[in-house]
């Protein structure tokens, strides 16, 4: 606007100069010079060849050149190479006596910077009206363009955030009650495109009836004070799905200070609400878990008041059945020492502290040895909400430490008597203990067993391996990593298979003292495993249906752990459909309950069972089944499983029924023939016979 006014003034002065006297012209020129020089805009005069004839103070500030540096030089000095054609266009318009309206372009300063400018130009005429040059005004709009670009970037970022966050924007007119919204807003309400009409009433139609009073109250409360909206409610989308949404907005005032619009955001928060419900459920589960945990656990708020406490905590500290939720920890235990209170304060500030053993002298004079750990718990936003104390009463352990000392000798004797070969080495991999079983397993000669040179023992054992290099490499790996535990199977050249187990000996601080090696002869168990695999393969190949279940007969019944292909072929169920289920899935209305009762009685007595029953295939079709069930026992004689063999005897039962029917009909025929013979006999010998 200022540029246009200045341009108009220059044009008017040029015209007046042509008609006024010389003196008046000088006065006007002086005034013009003062105006031009005081302007912050660059006002540049140039001839029709683009040679600069005047250069004001504003031009010096904008471009960095002084008047002395620029007057007499070409205007092209200010124009970047990619915009040289603009000057030809401007001069062409000027020569034709036309003005060049404002346009935005870029120009180059003395220090080489490119700046954004708004440029306009007007022809300069002499007294005869002949165009003799041009007056150009340039305004530095760099800051404005930076602001515009920053605003565009900000809007782009905002749109990106809204789109990626699936947040819809809306605006509601308080005069005509119409609303405008984004496509994401429409999508949230179940529409693929923007509805032509969207009003507050249309919005309320989507709100569930039970939530509408709360929503209306939020709108009215915000309108009463021209305040902000912020509420959550449920909506029924256009496709019928119920979702949770969050709505926020604020009032915009008109020039009179009255609320004219409300604009804001809407977001689908269904997942968050489901997450909150799940979190609440998890909190309840956590509370139940803590209360019934076998460990002594207590959860406190920032004021050290009980939030959750386990039953074990109450038992360990002899609190009985009293309710302590909401009470201060220091009220419940007034004898708590001061240094423990300091621990609590540090942990409420974010520390984690623990102690492996510490005496706690109770008010009644008794002493509990406690192992404890205190750590903060945090709310979902990361703020510390309080602390959790884990404690363990180790009084019994402390009392038993004395007993453990003399038991060490007993344990060493046990090692010597162990059925496993045991070797114990120190931190330098030197033997400190080996039992007789180790000597026997590897046939170690006496001179090697008693020799202090451990390399001889290692060479002797390695030489007996089926794969000596692999054996020796694993030994070196474990010695190189003192913290590692190793377990594998090794084969000896004589066909023996050993289970090799190696574990580091560490103290509570993690200090390494040596390593224990244990070797167990598993040759027979490996053979047994092979036999079991062979047996399993045979069971799978047999034509008889085989099913193995657990031994628990109480409801819901023993779970099926194995069925063979013949079972799936007979019942129609796949293996996946029955594993973990009970055999009751085969029973139905036609199943004889007396047979099932007899089955249970036999199994409870540990006896085998045989019988016939009607069962049901997958889909409900009945079939007759012949049944043999036997208990499986472990080495102690305890029943661990039941194995059942089953046979479909439906066809046999049909044949038996047909046979019985045939016999019945034959019996009826024989009876009829006998009666006919008697009647004939009677007719031939009776006195009244004819």
576-597 pLDDT, tens digit per residue, is 999 999 998 898 888 889 988 9
DSSP E strand stretches across 293-383:
296-301, 306-309, 353-361, 367-378
What confidence tier does 677 reach under pLDDT thresholds 50, 70, 90?
A: low
Tokens of 664: 């019945």
Q: What's the pLDDT at 27?
A: 56
In this structure, what are the phi and psi dihedrals at residue 389, rounded to the nearest 5 degrees? -110, 125
What confidence tier does 498 reach under pLDDT thresholds 50, 70, 90?
A: very high
Helix (H) or strand (E) holding 616: strand 609-616
- Is the pLDDT higher at 116 or at 290? 116
What confidence tier does 536 reach under pLDDT thresholds 50, 70, 90?
A: confident
Mean pLDDT of the region 506-518: 89
- Percent of the chain past pLDDT 90, that is, above it, reads 44
Residue whose C-alpha is closest to residue 646's, from 592, 584, 577, 571: 571
Q: Are 549 and 629 in contact (CB under 8 A)?
A: no
What confidence tier does 77 reach under pLDDT thresholds 50, 70, 90?
A: very high
CB atoms within 10 A of CB 157: 10
176-201 pLDDT, tens digit per residue, is 777 788 888 889 999 988 866 788 88
Mean pLDDT of the region 452-472: 90
- Is the pLDDT higher at 406 or at 572? 572
Q: What's the pLDDT at 21?
A: 47
688 pLDDT more than 60: no
* Burial of 74 (C-beta count, 10 Å sphere; 0-12/13-18/19+): middle
Q: Hey, which CATH number is domain 542-648, 3.40.50.1980, 3.30.450.20, 3.40.50.80, 3.90.70.10?
A: 3.30.450.20
Residue whose C-alpha is closest to residue 181's, from 252, 247, 272: 247
Q: What's the pLDDT at 371?
A: 92
Task: Identify the weakest region by mean pLDDT among 102-111, 459-468, 678-687.
Answer: 678-687
Q: What's the pLDDT at 477?
A: 92
Residue whose C-alpha is closest to residue 50's, from 4, 15, 85, 101: 85
Using CA atoms, how far apart are residues 318 and 325, in angstroms rounded to an integer? 16
- Is the pLDDT higher at 178 or at 361? 361
79 pLDDT more than 60: yes
Residue whose C-alpha is closest to residue 479's, from 455, 456, 498, 496: 455
Q: Are 215 and 233 in contact (CB under 8 A)?
A: yes
Q: What's the pLDDT at 255?
A: 74
Using CA atoms, how far apart are residues 410 and 623, in angstroms rounded to an integer? 64
Q: What's the pLDDT at 687?
A: 45
> What are the beta bridge partners of residue 424?
433, 516
Torsion angle, alpha carbons of 464, 469, 471, 477, to 10: 150
DSSP code for 173: E
Q: What's the pLDDT at 653?
A: 85
Using CA atoms, how far apart are residues 247 and 346, in angstroms rounded to an integer? 41
Residue entry with tokens 């027979």: 524
Name every residue whose Cβ is closer than 8 Å to that of residue 388 and which is 6 or more positions away in sequence. Answer: 297, 298, 299, 300, 374, 375, 376, 377
> What are the beta bridge partners of residue 309?
298
DSSP code for 111: T
258-311 pLDDT, tens digit per residue, is 878 888 889 999 998 888 887 777 777 776 776 777 788 999 999 999 998 888
615 pLDDT more than 80: yes
Q: Are 191 and 238 in contact (CB under 8 A)?
A: yes
179-181 vs 497-506, strand pairing mode: unpaired
Mean pLDDT of the region 215-236: 89
42 pLDDT more than 80: yes
Q: Compute the mean pLDDT over every residue in the chain, rounded to the nearest whole number.
A: 85
Query: Do the two domains 165-268 and 276-398 of this chain adopt the same fold?
Result: yes
What are the CA-CA distances from residue 513 to residues 168, 262, 422, 480, 484 (Å)?
65, 74, 16, 14, 13
167-173 vs 622-633, strand pairing mode: unpaired
Using CA atoms, how far apart are residues 309 and 388, in angstroms rounded to an integer? 10
Tokens of 524: 């027979």
Give Rg (Cα) of the chain.
50
Q: What's the pLDDT at 331?
A: 94
Mean pLDDT of the region 5-25: 54
| End-to-end CA gap in the chain | 151
Q: What's the pLDDT at 676?
A: 63
Q: Which CATH class is domain 276-398?
A: alpha beta
152-173 pLDDT, tens digit per residue, is 776 666 666 556 667 888 888 8
Look up the CATH superfamily of 418-526.
PAS domain (3.30.450.20)
Q: What's the pLDDT at 229?
A: 87
Using CA atoms, how far apart are residues 182 and 163, in angstroms rounded to an integer? 10
Q: Are 614 and 625 in contact (CB under 8 A)?
A: yes
What confidence tier does 28 reach under pLDDT thresholds 50, 70, 90?
A: low
Q: What's the pLDDT at 15?
A: 57
What's the CATH code, domain 165-268? 3.30.450.20
126-161 pLDDT, tens digit per residue, is 888 899 999 999 999 988 888 888 777 766 666 665
Going by CATH, does the domain composed of 2-142 fall within 3.40.50.300? no
Residue whose C-alpha is closest to residue 371's, from 384, 356, 361: 356
Name every residue whose Cβ is closer than 8 Å to that of residue 23 and which is 6 or more positions away in sequence. Answer: none
Torsion angle, alpha carbons of 207, 208, 211, 215, to 10: 10
Q: Are 466 and 495 in contact (CB under 8 A)?
A: no
Residue whose C-alpha is closest to residue 502's, from 474, 543, 525: 474
6 pLDDT more than 60: no
Ranges of each domain in the chain: 2-142, 165-268, 276-398, 418-526, 542-648
Burial 420-436 (b: 16+ CB within 10 A, else e): bbbbbbeeeeebeebbe
Q: Is the pTM above the cut of 0.85?
A: no
Q: What's the pLDDT at 433?
A: 84
């Amino acid at each position: 606007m200022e540029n246009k006014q200045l341009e108009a003034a220059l044009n008017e002065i040029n015209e007046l100069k042509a008609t006024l006297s010389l003196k008046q012209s000088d006065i006007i020129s002086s005034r013009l010079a003062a105006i031009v020089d005081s302007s912050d805009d660059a006002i540049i005069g140039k001839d029709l060849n683009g040679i600069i004839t005047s250069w004001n103070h504003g031009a010096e500030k904008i471009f960095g050149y002084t008047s002395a540096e620029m007057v007499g030089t070409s205007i092209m000095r200010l124009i970047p190479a990619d915009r040289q054609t603009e000057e030809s266009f401007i001069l062409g318009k000027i020569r034709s006596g036309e003005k060049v309206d404002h346009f935005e372009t870029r120009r180059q300063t003395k220090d080489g910077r490119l700046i954004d400018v708004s440029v306009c130009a007007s022809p300069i005429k002499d007294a005869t009206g002949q165009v003799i040059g041009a007056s150009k005004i340039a305004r530095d709009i760099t800051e404005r363009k930076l602001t515009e670009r920053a605003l565009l970037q900000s809007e782009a970022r905002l749109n990106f955030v809204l789109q990626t966050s699936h947040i819809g924007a809306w605006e509601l007119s308080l005069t005509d009650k119409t609303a405008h919204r984004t496509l994401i807003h429409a999508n949230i309400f179940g529409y693929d495109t923007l509805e032509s009409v969207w009003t507050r009433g249309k919005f309320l139609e989507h709100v569930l009836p039970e939530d509408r009073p709360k929503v209306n109250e939020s709108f009215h409360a915000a309108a009463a004070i021209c305040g902000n909206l912020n509420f959550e409610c449920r909506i029924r989308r256009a496709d019928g799905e119920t979702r949770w949404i969050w709505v926020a907005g604020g009032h915009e005032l008109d020039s009179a200070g009255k609320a004219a619009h409300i604009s804001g955001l809407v977001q689908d928060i269904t997942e968050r609400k489901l997450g909150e419900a799940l979190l609440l459920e998890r909190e309840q589960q956590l509370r139940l878990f803590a209360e019934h945990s076998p460990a002594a656990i207590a959860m406190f708020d920032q004021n050290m008041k009980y939030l959750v406490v386990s039953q074990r905590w109450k038992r360990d500290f002899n609190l009985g059945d009293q309710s302590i939720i909401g009470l201060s920890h220091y009220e419940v235990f007034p004898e708590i020492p001061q240094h423990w209170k300091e621990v609590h304060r540090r942990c409420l500030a974010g520390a984690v502290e623990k102690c492996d053993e510490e005496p706690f002298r109770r008010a009644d004079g008794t002493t509990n040895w406690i192992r404890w750990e205190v750590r903060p718990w945090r709310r979902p936003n990361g703020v510390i909400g309080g602390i959790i104390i884990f404690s363990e009463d180790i009084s019994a352990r402390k009392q038993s430490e004395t007993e453990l000392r003399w038991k060490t000798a007993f344990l060493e004797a046990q090692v010597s008597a162990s059925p496993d070969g045991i070797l114990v080495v120190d931190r330098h991999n030197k033997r400190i203990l080996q039992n007789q079983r180790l000597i026997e397993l590897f046939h170690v000669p006496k001179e090697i067993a008693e020799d202090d040179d451990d390399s001889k023992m290692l060479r002797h054992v390695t030489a007996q391996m089926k794969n000596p290099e692999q054996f020796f490499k694993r030994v070196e790996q474990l010695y190189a990593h003192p913290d590692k535990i190793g377990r594998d199977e090794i084969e000896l050249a004589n066909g023996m298979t050993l289970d090799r187990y190696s574990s580091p000996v560490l103290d509570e601080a993690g200090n390494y003292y040596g390593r224990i090696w244990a070797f167990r002869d598993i040759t027979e168990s490996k053979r047994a495993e092979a036999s079991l695999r062979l047996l399993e393969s045979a069971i799978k190949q047999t034509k008889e249906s085989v099913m193995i279940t657990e031994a628990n007969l109480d409801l819901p019944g023993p779970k099926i752990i194995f069925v063979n292909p013949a079972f799936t072929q007979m019942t129609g169920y796949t293996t996946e459909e029955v594993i973990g289920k009970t055999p009751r899935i085969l029973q139905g209305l036609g199943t004889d309950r007396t047979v099932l009762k007899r089955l249970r009685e036999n199994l409870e007595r540990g006896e085998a069972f045989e019988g016939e029953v009607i069962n049901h295939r997958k889909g409900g079709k009945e079939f007759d089944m012949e049944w043999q069930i036997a208990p499986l026992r472990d080495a102690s004689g305890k029943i661990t499983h039941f194995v059942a063999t089953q046979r479909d005897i439906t066809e046999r039962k049909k044949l038996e029924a047909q046979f019985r029917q045939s016999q019945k009909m034959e019996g009826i025929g024989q009876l009829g023939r006998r009666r006919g013979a008697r009647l004939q006999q009677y007719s031939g010998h009776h006195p009244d016979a004819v």
